[in-house]
Amino acid sequence: MEPAGVALERKIIDPDTYFDHNRPPANLQRTHDQVASFLEKHKASSRPIVLVTSGGTTVPLENNTVRFVDNFSAGTRGSASAEQFLSLGYLVIFLYRENSLQPFNRHYTHNQKGLLDYLQLDNGNVTVDPAYMEQVKSDLLKYLSSKDRLLQVTFTTLSDYLFLLREISRLVAPLGSQAMFYLAAAVSDFFIPSHSMAEHKIQSGSGDLTLRMNQVPKFLRPLVKNWAPLCFIVSFKLETDVKLLEPKAKHALEKYGHQIVVANLLNTRKWQVWLVTRDQDPCVLQISKEDLDAGRDIEQDIVAELARRHKEFMSRDA
């Protein structure tokens, strides 16, 4: 018997057939309606718009799902970036994994605290604990002043994500160069098609488990070619091996024909990223340890630089 571990074989399905064989998420129609009215409401503003995707997708191992494969991502990159886009005047559609970090609210979650830990009883009145008051007030002001330009949509599974991405892309596509796609979500590379899945919880009585998973087709191709061909598209690449980073980013740009890859390493991603384009040397963005410890987000630099390039992209189009 082979030892526990992983092995790879060849077989990839066509992106187009994926949608025929998987069920759309319950919030698809609602999302269509919400995005359409969001775009309608802000039509006259001529603000740039960005779709930010954030958090990891899951792939179920059983049709009655007890177990699933997940991708490591709290949604820090996406939620922090959404804040920066809002501060630069963008309209933001935030497509995020349910229960992952959300803009502004991200500072008060995933930290072993809950709502009640920020509150106190003061003579019978519920108030915010003075230790947090200043920060809470500052974030609340920012949140309230930009909430109107933020539309949040949730996904859980890979399949939810792909259906929602296609739907939103088609609605945003008519805005052409005015729209940016900032695809920071950690999307699964492998899945088990619904028809090959175990119906009930996989039983553990009989020893080892062998899972055979299919590769997820690359949806960046139809996104760039068909769904939103005139938009400014930024994809992300997370690796753990630095040697693979630039070649894989360049390869993606050549293969899919989009504008920028933001490349980063699992262990240094909070303070260092590379912006990779087809024609130029990678541009490295990084912040110091002091700035990082002082609470500065590298997303401020990433988004500022991308907004600058997006502006150039729009002006070439004008």
Under rule CB under 8 A, which residues in 86-105 are in contact with a copy of itself? 98-99, 102, 104-105
Q: Segment near a copy of itself (CB under 8 A), from 199-207, 228-236, 269-277, 278-286? A: 199-207
Q: Which of 238, 292, 307, 314 binds a copy of itself (CB under 8 A)?
A: 238
CA neighbor of 265 nearest in space, from 235, 236, 302, 234? 236
Q: Backbone dihedral region of 180: left (phi > 0), alpha (psi from -120 to 50 degrees) or beta?
A: beta
Residues in the interface with a copy of itself (CB under 8 A) total 87
Least distance in Å: CB of 143 to a copy of itself?
5
Buried b (16+ CB within 10 A) or exposed e, 106-131: bbbbeeeeeeeeeeeeeeeeeebeee
Q: DSSP code of 139?
A: H
The tokens describing 269, both together, are 């991603």
Partners of 186 in the β-ladder: 56
Q: Which of 29, 37, 45, 196 binds a copy of itself (CB under 8 A)?
A: 196
Query: Does position 204 bind a copy of itself by CB under 8 A?
Result: yes
Amino acid at 105: N
Under rule CB under 8 A, which residues in 150-169 are in contact with a copy of itself? 152, 154
Q: Which of 44, 46, 112, 315 binds a copy of itself (CB under 8 A)?
A: 112
The greatest distance separating any two alpha carbons of the chain, rounded to the nearest whole angstrom, comes to: 69
Alpha carbons 33 and 11: distance in angstroms, whole number: 36
Residue 311 CA from chain centroid, whole number: 22
Q: Which of 26, 44, 116, 318 binds a copy of itself (CB under 8 A)?
A: 116
Q: Which of 36, 202, 284, 304 binds a copy of itself (CB under 8 A)?
A: 202
> Cα dihedral angle (39, 40, 45, 51), rounded to 10 degrees?
0
Least distance in Å: CB of 185 to a copy of itself?
13
Under rule CB under 8 A, which residues in 16-35 are in contact with a copy of itself? none
Least distance in Å: CB of 46 to a copy of itself?
28
Q: Which of 16, 33, 117, 317 binds a copy of itself (CB under 8 A)?
A: 117
110 or 308: CB nearest a copy of itself = 110
